[in-house]
Every structure is written in C-alpha cells, then in structure tokens.
Structure 1
Amino acid sequence: MDYRESIGSLNDPNRPSTIIRLHDRDDVEQWKGVKRYVYFLAPFLILIDVALYLAYLGFRLYCNIQVQRTTGISAGAAWIFFGVEFLITIPYLMNNCWAMFALKTRNRPRLRLVGHRELPTIDVLITCCKEDNDVIMDTVRATCDQDYPMERFRVTVLDDGNSVKLRQLVHEARRTWPNLMYMSREKKPGVPHHFKAGNLNYGLEQITFLPGGSGEFVAALDADMIPEPHWLRAVLPHLLSDHKVAMACPPQLFYNTPRSDPLGQSLDFFVHVTEPIKDTLGAAWCTGSGYICRRTALDDIGAIPTGGIAEDVATSNLFIGKGWTTAYVHEPLQFGTVPDDFSGHLKQRTRWAIGTVENAISVNFYLWGSKIKHMTTGVRLSSFVIAILSFYPLLLTVSIFAIPVILILGRPLVVFTSENQLRWLIRAAFATVISRRIVEFILYIPSGYHTGQRYARYQIWMAPYLALALFRAFLLPKWLGGAAAPFKPTGSLGSPLNERDAASRKGMIYRLFSVLIQCQAIFHLLFVYFAITGAVIATYKCFIIERGTSRILRYLITYTWWPPVTWIFLASSIWTPIAYAINPPTVPDREELLNRDPDTGIAHPREVAKRIGFGAQAAWFELEYTITTLYTCLCFAATFFLF
C-alpha cells in the first residue's frame, strides 16, 4: 500500500502535527513471524559454538604437544595449521562476543509525523562532486517531492564539482520547487578543503545567512540516494519524541545491486544485523546518508569533524561522547547505487576501512579521553570490539596465505598419537562445523541467509586489499610509501571497463588484465593455483605411499582433506575477482530500474530492483558449502567403523 494512502486523512492540512505509532517495531517489514522468535536463540547458540570451537582447538593443541613428546619430532605443518586456526579464532571470538549483545531486546517503534501545522523546519543538504547530473537530479527531485509542507523545508545542493550544467539544472527545477537552492564553495589552492565534511560544513555555515536562518533540523543525502516520499516524516519523530537524540539515521539500501551480489556490495548484513545490535546499546553510527541531525547538537560538537575520511562515524562518536544519543531507524527509506566497476568498489571499501580505524585512533580506541567522556561502558565496549575487528584483515590475510604453503609442504595438517585421538579429533571438527552452520542460519535471519554467506566470502577475498590499505596507512612509514589513501589501481585503466553492460563491456582479455594486474588480483590467482596444486600433489602421493582403504582415507583426511576442507572454501572465495573478470554480471540500464513520472520526472526504484536476485553464483556457493558439510558428516560417520 502507498504510504500516503495508508496515512489517509491524518495529513489533513488543517490538522496540527502529531506523532503516531504505526507499529511496535520499525523493522516489521524486514523480518517477522517465527523467525523473530528463533533469532532470540542466537546468543545462546553462539555460546555453545564458541565453547565447542575452543574445546576443538584445545584438543588440537594437546595432540600436537603429545606427538612431539612421544616421537621427539617437530610437527611443523600441524603447528602452522593450528596457528592459522588460532589466528582466525581471535577475531571470530571477539565478533561472537559482540554478537552476544543481541540478547538485549531492541524496541524502537515505527513512527510517523502527521499533520501540517506547527511542523519543525528542516534544511536538507545534498552533497555531490562530479557525479552524473541525471543521478543527482533524480535525488534532488525526489527530495523536493517529500510529503512535507514546502514552506517548512529547504533543499540545498552542495556542489563540490562546481558544475555549470548542474547549476543550470537546479535553477530550472526551482520553477517547480522554489525551496530548492544551489551552492558551490571556492576551493583555494593549498588550503585543505576536507572533502565531504568540508562541503557539509560550508553548507551548514551558508544556510544561516539565508532568509529565516538555519532550520531546526539538518538532513543530509548523498548524490545518488533517492529518498522515499515519507523519509522526513519517518525519521523526524525519533528526534522529536526524545530531545536527547542528536541524530537519527535509516539504512543505506541500493537498487542496482547485481544478481547474487558477487562482490558483496550490498550493506545488508551491516544494516540488518550489525547496526540494530549497536542501536540497542545506544551506539548507532551515522550511515552516511539519509540522516537527520538536531541543529543545536551539531553546534554543540562544533559542526562536522574534519581531518579524517569517515566523517559520518566521527560525527556519531562526538555526539555520543558529548552525552547525546543516536537512533537507528530500521526502515527502508532511501535507495542508492553501488559502484558499477571493480576498482570503484575497492576504492570505496578501503576508504571505509581506513576511516573506521582513523576514528578509533582519534578517540583512543574508545577507552579514554575527553571526546568520549559521556560514553557508557556498553557503547565503549561495542565500539572497541568493532575497532579492533577492523584489523581482522591483517590476521586473516596471513592465515589465508599460509594454507598453500602447508599443502605444498606435503606434511600432515593434523597429528595424533593413537587411532582414538584421530577419531575424537574428527568428531570435534564435526561438532564445530555443524554448530557453526546452525549459528549462521539463525544469526543471518535479519539480513537473509545468502546475504550472510556473501558477507563471509567478501571478508575473505577483500582481506588482502584491506590488509594492504591498513598496513600502508598505519604501519608503513611514509618514507617507505605509507599513506592514508584508499586503494588505487596501478597504471591507468584508460577507458571504463563497462563490465556490467553486456553491449559495451570490454573484452575478457582486457578485463582480466585490469583485474589481475592493475587491481592486483594476481595474488588471488596465485593463491588458488598453489592451493590446488598442493592439494593435488598431496592427494596423488597418498595413493602411491599408502595401501588399504583405511590407511588411504586416513592419509587423505590428515594431509589434505581435513573436514570441512577449509582450503576449498578459501580458494572459491579468493577466486571471486577472477570469476568477476571472466563473467561479470549484467545489470540493466539505470533507467530500467526506476519508475519515472513522465510529467514531473520524479523517479523511484522499482520494487523488484530493491531486492537482490538469487543467481547462479549464489547457487554454486551453496552447493559447494553443502557438499563440504556432507563430507564432514561422512568423516564423522567413518569414525565409528573405519578408524
């Protein structure tokens, strides 16, 4: 049902403004029914899963020590493999401990501000810098078309690209929407302009000089984020109903995500799992677009903080540290676009990773300091864990690239002193695999199971890129090339690859060269090559060295195919950039994803475009995951009659 139909006569022009409660939960559309009750089991199952995994690692450690004591031989490969599992465990345990906050019930209702009289004034700032004019104007028109009295809100386009054409388009649109403004600041050579934060601060300063001064509230939108007609009426009530709330923000959702989302570009796991948990602790971060701030709160923190590349997180930290609170409105209220090229995606995500760590360092990892004086213990703990997990790619990359080394060494991954130890090692591995799968099914409920799986694979193949960016930004001295800059492809990409346009995309050879060489995925290719080569050699040697079914199976399992065959999952995940270059997804032209009013030109994403389609890649990954899980079950069964 259309929003305006559902509210009906409540928005009578003569009705005083008031807040109504549409539902007890703001995320009623995302997940409901029995799934919500099953989700309550997640924290308890996480506890069991962590306990099982620690027991498994403890038993592995015991077996390694026993073998060395009884034989006097160092089990080198087994120790490396144990080290890999241990390194991965540290962030895994921290992440699970943080997920335990799901125990706390989140009770944020779905609210609406109705009526037309006595509504608060709002300034909406749209930041842009050389984006496509059609994209910007779609955001501008949808923002001006808000279900909100025109005289009570003002829309200002902050153009950091100083585009003559965009200025002209905005002035033409003013004929329909006189509350629309255009501004572009002067950038003086040698003077830091602080990118988006500087652009926002320029807008915050300039709107105070406009007739009527600044609005009571200030909202911000990215250039490509198309707001729903009820965006303002949905977010504002959370600020009006609690005067301690400095900022309320909805999730960033997208309408051009390819089928299967091969690069993991959607933020569904973050916006549907991570951010709601943070909200329960009063630690919700600004999502970067679609948020609304109280002007007095912005003045209290001295405007948008500059000096970093993640001004949204920094702003959230300053609000909470000053004693204000933030609110996460878990409702689909804006839809934008993901980068439509591989290098653009890498640049975006490495920038986010660097910005998150920069902000953590600026507030002493949320442990002490005047900037976070009023943060509660829960907020500090939550933010600290997320900050530390930002370094996860460094550990994960080291762990990942140790796997091919172990396989090529041709040494046993797991050692034991007796058949009985081997049986219990396999049973312990089986228990951890099954418990992990159960936790995944339940923990991923809010975002969707396949979204969670994509996120898990994304963490693996993106780890080398993020690790390199973090290493250069925070560990490598400047005189050796250290720099806090996002990923940049080597050389020049020349012209765009247009990889998602079936008619104009570059040929496969050009795409492979770009991804493997310029985007440095050659390391991903080498990992897959050496992992498979090592596995094949170790498997081949087994049939030469051993005789008898039981001995062959024991050799295979302990040298190469230890359940759940982690190297297969890693290799298939690491292969993602190469698979993308070989067979990139086809995405319809942007116009085909929109419903556009032929008279006004106002466009909103089609309903089908708001959902991520299930494609062949997702099906293939799930088949692979299912097969390795079944293999683990067979190994478990074999402990009762073969070993």
Structure 2
Amino acid sequence: MAKEGEMTEINLVPIEDNSSGHSSLDRPSRTDTSPTYANSNSNRASNFSYPQAKGPAPAYHQQRYSYVDDTPGGSPPGTPITGGGGATPYGSLLPPPKYPSYANSNGADTRSSSPFPQSQTAFQSQDTLRPLFPDTPSTFFNKEWVKDGSIAQLHSRDDAEFWHGWKRNLFYFAPFLTGLSLALYWVYFGLRIAFIVSAQNAKRASFPMAWIFVAIEISVAIPVFMQNFWTMFALKKRRRPKLRLIGNDVPTVDIFVTCCGEDDDLVLDTVRGACAQDYPQDKFRVIVLDDGKSAGLERMTRDLADIYPNLYYKSRPKFPGVPHHFKAGNLNYGLDEVHTMPGGAGQFMAALDADMIPEEHWIRAVMPHMLVDPKMALACPPQLFYNTPPGDPLCQSLDFFVHVCEPIKDALGVAWCTGSGYVVRREALDEIGNFPLGSLAEDVATSTLMLGKGWKTAFVHEPLQFGTVPDDFGSHLKQRTRWAIGTVDTSIKLKFCLWGDQIKRMTFAQRTSSFLYAFLSLFNILLVLSMFALPIVLIMGKPLVAYANFEQLRWLIRACFAAVISNRLCEFVLFIPSGYHTGQRGSRYQLWMSPYIALCLIRSFVLPKWLGGQTQAFKPTGSLKSALNERDPQKRAPMWRRMWTLIANFMGFFHIGYVYFTLVAVTMSSYRCFNKITTRDIIICLVTHAFWPPLSFIIVCSSFWIPITYAIDPPSVKDREELLVRDPKTGIAHPSKESKKIAFSGQSSWFEIEYTFTTLYTTLILVASFFI
C-alpha cells in the first residue's frame, strides 16, 4: 500500500469491444423503444408512490473502464467497472454548437440541438490540483500521473483536511473511553437499584419516588447509551482516500439545482458555482428546477445561459388538487425532462440545494468514488455553512453529524444521502423508481431504498459545498421538526428497516443504523415526560436517592463520580472531529429542542385531526428572510416584539414555565433541608435531594433557557454578500475563509463555566464523603 499522503495513480482505461454483441462487463442496455419512459412497478417500494416518467426513451451508449491501481497490493489491472447508467455522452453523438445567442425576441430558447457545446476557453482539469503541490506550473503539468481518463489519489484519507496529528491519534481512544463510560454508568445504576431494595428492607417502607427517579435517569440515558454504543464502531477503520478525476474523458452528469421561493440572488450564486465546475462543458449541464415559478429567476437564468450554454431553466406545471410531492416531485420532474432534452439523460445525476454553493472541484472530487466501484449508487459530501452565527447558539451547524456520525456510518456501509451535493448513478435510481414520494425525507428514503436493493453509498469527507442556515428561530424549528417527521415517517413505511422486501439486502449494520436514528427521534416524547419528574419529586420533599446506611451512600457518591468523570473524558475525545464546543452545543440542543420535536411527532403520528393532529407540511428553510430580522443589528425588531413572538408562536411559555417550576422545586426542597438540626444532616439532605451530583437541574435549566436568551440577545451576522468573495468579472462567489468557521462567543464560555463547576462540585462531594 502507498504511504499516507503519497500520490498514487488509478487509471480508467477504455476497453475495446471487438465482439458484435455486448461484453460480459456491460450492464444490460436499455432496448425499450416505446414512446414513454417508465420503470416497472415491480421495482417500486410499496409504501411510497412514484410518478410515471414521460417522454421519449433516450439513446444509450455503454462506456466501460478498467480500474488499475498501480500501488503495491492494489487491485489487479483490468478489474472492470462501468462508466455509469448507460446514457449517451452528450458531446459524442451531437452536431457542433452554435454561438452566441440562444434566445429570440420572444424569449424562446433557440440553442442548437447540442446540450453542452464546447466552451471556447476550455477548463483545465488540473487547475484544482495545482495548490496541492509545491512544484512550478511547468513541472506540475508534466507529472506522469496527469493523464486523460485517470483518477489521482491525493491522500490516503479524504478527511485529512479536517483533522490530523495528535487529535486523530487521540480519537482512536474514543471507543475505549465510550465502553468505560457505559460500564461505569451501569455499575452506578446497579448500585442505585440494589441500595433502594436494601433501604426498603431495612426500613420496611417503599420508596416510589426513588424508583421513579432511577427509571427517569435510565430512560434519559438510553439514547445516550445507544449513540455512544454506535460510536464504538469507530474502531472499524474507514478507508476512503481523497481522489480526483483527471482529464476530459469523464462521464456525463445532469446537475439539478432545486429551488422554491428563495431569493433569486442566492439561487444564482449556486447556479454560477455549478456552471463554473472544473469539468468539460460538453460532459455536464446545469438545470434549474424552480418550483416557485419566479419570473425574475427565469429571466436571469436565461441571460446567464448566454455565458454558460449548458444551463437550462425548468419549472413544472402544478394542477389544483393534484399532489406535487414537494422536492421529491421536483427532482423526478427533472429526471423525466432530461430524457426529452438533446442527448437524453446523463450517466449520473447530481443535485444542489438552492443555497449550497459548490466548490470548483466538487464533481471531480465526488465522481471518482462512483467510478471505482460499479455498485456505488450514491456519494455525498457534508453540508457545511458560511453564515452560522458566532457561538451557534441554536446548534444549526451539522458538524457533529458530518464529522463524527457520518464517517462511522460510512465505515459500516450505511452513509446517508443528506439532500445536497450528492452524485447518484442513474441505474440505481431506475431500480428504485426514482425518488420516493410521500416522505419529507426523500434523501434518506432514497439512500435507504438503494441499500435495500444491494447498492452501496459513500460519504466523501471533503469540504465541497457551503450553504446557509435558517436566519431566524421559526425557520430553524420548521427545518428540524421536518427532518424528524421525515425520518420517522420513512422508518415507519420501511418497518424500521427490520423486515420487508424493500430492505431485504441490507446488512445488520445498515438495519441497526436506520432503526437507531428513528428511535432517537421518537425518544423525544419520553424525554419531555421524564424531565418533569425531577421537579415533581423535589416538590414532594422526597430524596432522589435511597440507601440503608451511610456506607452505601458513600459508594453511591463514588460510583456517581466515576460515571461523571468518565463521561467528561469521553466527551473531550469523542467531540474532537467536530470540535468540543460543537459537541456540547449538540447535547444542550437535544434538551431544549425535545418539546418541539415531541409535539410535532405526536400531532403527526398519534393525534387525530379533531384533537389537534395535523398533516405533514413542508416549507423551504435556510434562505427565507425573517420578519423580525433577528440577526441584523440595524434592522432587528425591538426586544419586546421578539419575546412576544417567541412566547406566543414558538412555545416560549413552556420554556419559561419549566425553568420557573424547576427552580421553585429546588428552592422548596433546599428550604426543608435547612430545618435539620446538625450541619451534617443539612449537607446530607441537600446532597440527596436537589444537589445530587452532577447538579442536573443547572444543566437542564440553562439549556431550556437558550431560546429565551436568543430572543433577548440574538447573535449578529453580517449580510450574506459580506461573507462571500466575488469575482467582479464573472460574478462567481464563494464563501470567505473566515465565514466557513464558527466564531467563538461569550455564551460558550458561560456554558463551559457551568460544566467545569458541576465537575468540580462532583469532585468536592467525593472528597467530602470520606470525612462526613
């Protein structure tokens, strides 16, 4: 094997077919000459609905490659892979392009039948590789590995840009620390249960509140246990190198930019980034799929097509009373439309959300992972953002998921499609009947159905796209609750991936992952119910722990200390890839967001309409303007209006009420303890009631207060244009280096003070247990 960071070469060599028939290396070619293009119903998931594709069947041409790894121990020369879904390369069977005008006086598109005419200034496929090497330009372009139709391995790890060195070495201990933390937690709970039984036998009385509190602690810990258990699979090495597709002998790609009511300027920045890909112009086209029917966007897109002849605008018709199935329907409309366009459908399809600006080397970075494995159905990079506010108080970044969870899932062969920036093989889409309808999580459903058919998915851990997070509290809630509804709904339709024909070829790890994430969403209902147990037990004046003698109390304190400290160490190591503060934000987010997700799930899946149930709804987020202008220091609404909006529209009253109720319960419980006679009795009463380490009520209350703090003092974010670096000549914009990072804030310092204080307090109680 090549050493880490060493450049190796992987060639894609065309194989000549001298036979009159099809080679055994080919996938079956499409021979249907009927005027409609539709998939067999036998390939469709029974719990989802699919549209019938329309339009003439495209011409298909099989293009085959052999995979050659020149590194020692690599794959043997000639290992075959296919070039994709069998679509005709657009430039090979089409007449020469015509320049320069593509619209007549009526605005109709008058471009030639060639979908992708060659640009007069062709892209250099090596340009995106130049910064990676210290050589002079002349030496760089003379590298032997720069050949048409080849794949270069830039590094043995695709995540080398995110983290390396001592941090990576330390992260290898995360599974062991996770195992230790889980073991100590169960020892602690075991002692709690044993000592309650002992106390009941010694005092001949029952302790129902102690049992309830133990049950609550265990129930709240279950999702933590499950997620931590999942992270133990980090022991499985993830071997996905950093690859680049070189030259102009490349597959054809249809790039869809989906939009629905976002700002035209924002969509145009994404479109320009997609059009400016370092990829041969006759091998890809960009199609704007506008579900909002914006006249301004249509006009600007057609104007931009004068510069980029491979750019197209499409807007599907919608009829009253006919379901249009939101983003999935829009994508399927695009998949049908490309069959009617010159050259037919591309071998691969790629998709971008309206606000996701791709890096110039996006396609060349993702495509190699599709080509080296003929069973790779989909490859997806992380969703990263450039307008995340300082401190990210609402935990809007997905850093923990994309830097910790997704790499582990990828190592186990269960990478998800996360909705933007992905490249998908048309063959795989055909087999599942295009994007499944009837779900708000069409991306997760798509990748799950592909895995169920025996295809593979990949997570490409490179920073290849940057978008925008919702710029107001309401849009953030709608986005996250929609994700939760979509995940649970997809899991229910697929029987939680436990059985059924749709997932019969999924592995155990793939089934476990799908079940786990659905369960974690549903667990928010139990989490909300359990959080009220703590103040209720304290209001009733009952202790949180029960014991028969002081020696048992000392052992409980010691076990609690061991569990808390091991958990803190585990957090430090486990959060390394995403950043420590990001991981802690995620923990607080699970607490304060749980009421919203729980209520949404109950109304969507439990309650009938006459009791407040509601059908699933969708509203695009991430780029819609806030009426309160919360993050604009000049235009934001006054504080009283922000607070009233939170309380009246976004359940702010629940957060205020819970924090008030909990603090009152802590005060009443502590007041009763001070009625004890001796100092020793007072201390023991306080510790066994409200102040049992690690002071959970402080963490819970401070987490629940986050929406209130956000309304009172929302973070300020620069105007979007100030976060971009724009080329004055081409108008192409990319996020600045600074905007790609989450700035530190004072709120993060305050929360760290809380964690440090509770940890020190737990240590102090341990020391005191030896003397009191």
Q: Report how far residue 73 of structure 1 moved.
A: 3.0
Q: Any idea what SS the aligned residue of 1:215 has?
A: coil
CA distance in 1, matches of 2:204, 2:681: 23
Q: 1:469·1:486 contact (CA, 8 Å) conserved in 2?
A: no
The answer to whether residue 765 in structure 2 is matched with residue 635 in structure 1 is yes
Aligned to 1:571: 701
The answer to whether residue 660 in structure 2 is matched with residue 529 in structure 1 is yes
Deviations 1:61-88 (A, max 9, x none): 1222222222233323322221210211
**1:6 pairs with 132, 143, 146, which one?**
132
TM-score by length of 2: 0.80
Deviations 1:486-543 (A, max 9, x none): 699xxxx998111101111111111111112210121111111111111122223322
**1:64 pairs with 196, 205, 220, which one?**
196
Q: How does 1:218-233 map to 2 (within 5 A)?
A: 218-233=349-364
Q: Any idea what SS the aligned residue of 1:391 has?
A: helix
CA distance in 2, matches of 1:438, 1:268: 20
CA distance in 2, matches of 1:233, 1:352: 29
Deviations 1:292-319 (A, max 9, x none): 0011111111111111100000000111
For 2:208, the aligned partner's letter is G
Structure 1 476/34 Cα, relative in aligned 2: closer, same or farther at 3 Å? same
CA distance in 1, matches of 2:351, 2:244: 19
| RMSD of aligned alpha carbons | 1.9
Q: How does 1:27-106 map to 2 (within 5 A)?
A: 27-106=159-238
Q: How does 1:200-599 map to 2 (within 5 A)?
A: 200-485=331-616, 496-543=627-674, 545-599=675-729
**1:110 pairs with 215, 218, 242, which one?**
242
Q: Report how far residue 387 of structure 1 moved.
A: 2.1
CA distance in 2, matches of 1:524, 1:191: 40
Aligned to 2:737: 607
Structure 1 605/40 Cα, relative in aligned 2: closer, same or farther at 3 Å? same
CA distance in 2, matches of 1:130, 1:4: 38
CA distance in 2, matches of 1:473, 1:634: 47
Q: Is 337-346 or 84-93 further displaced after alignment?
A: 84-93
Structure 1 431/62 Cα, relative in aligned 2: closer, same or farther at 3 Å? same
CA distance in 2, matches of 1:85, 1:464: 18
Q: 2:128·2:360 contact (CA, 8 Å) conserved in 1?
A: no
Q: 1:346·1:487 contact (CA, 8 Å) conserved in 2?
A: no
CA distance in 1, matches of 2:431, 2:538: 58
Q: How does 1:161-176 map to 2 (within 5 A)?
A: 161-176=292-307
CA distance in 1, matches of 2:748, 2:425: 42
Q: Any idea what SS the aligned residue of 1:229 has?
A: coil
**2:258 pairs with 122, 127, 148, which one?**
127
TM-score by length of 1: 0.96
CA distance in 2, matches of 1:381, 1:197: 25
Aligned to 1:146: 277
Q: Is 365-374 or 473-482 further displaced after alignment?
A: 473-482
Aligned to 1:185: 316
CA distance in 1, matches of 2:658, 2:555: 31
CA distance in 2, matches of 1:621, 1:351: 28
Aligned to 2:154: 22
Deviations 1:402-457 (A, max 9, x none): 22222222221112111111111111110110010011111111111111100000
CA distance in 2, matches of 1:514, 1:3: 50
Deviations 1:245-298 (A, max 9, x none): 000000000000011100000000110111111111111000100000011111
Structure 1 48/485 Cα, relative in aligned 2: closer, same or farther at 3 Å? same
Deviations 1:169-200 (A, max 9, x none): 00110111111000000000010100000000
Larger radius of gyration: 2
CA distance in 2, matches of 1:347, 1:415: 43
Q: Any idea what SS the aligned residue of 1:59 has?
A: helix
CA distance in 2, matches of 1:71, 1:444: 45
Q: 1:469·1:487 contact (CA, 8 Å) conserved in 2?
A: no
- Kindly tell me the number of residue pairs found equivalent between the two proteins: 636
CA distance in 1, matches of 2:579, 2:672: 42
Q: Is 226-235 or 374-383 further displaced after alignment?
A: 374-383
Q: Any idea what SS the aligned residue of 1:247 has?
A: strand
Sequence identity (%) = 56
Q: Report how far residue 41 of structure 1 moved.
A: 1.4
Flag structure 2 segments of 5+ consecutive residues without an equivalent.
1-126, 134-139
Structure number having the greater helix percentage: 1
Q: 1:10·1:114 contact (CA, 8 Å) conserved in 2?
A: no
Q: 2:128·2:361 contact (CA, 8 Å) conserved in 1?
A: no
Q: 1:347·1:486 contact (CA, 8 Å) conserved in 2?
A: no
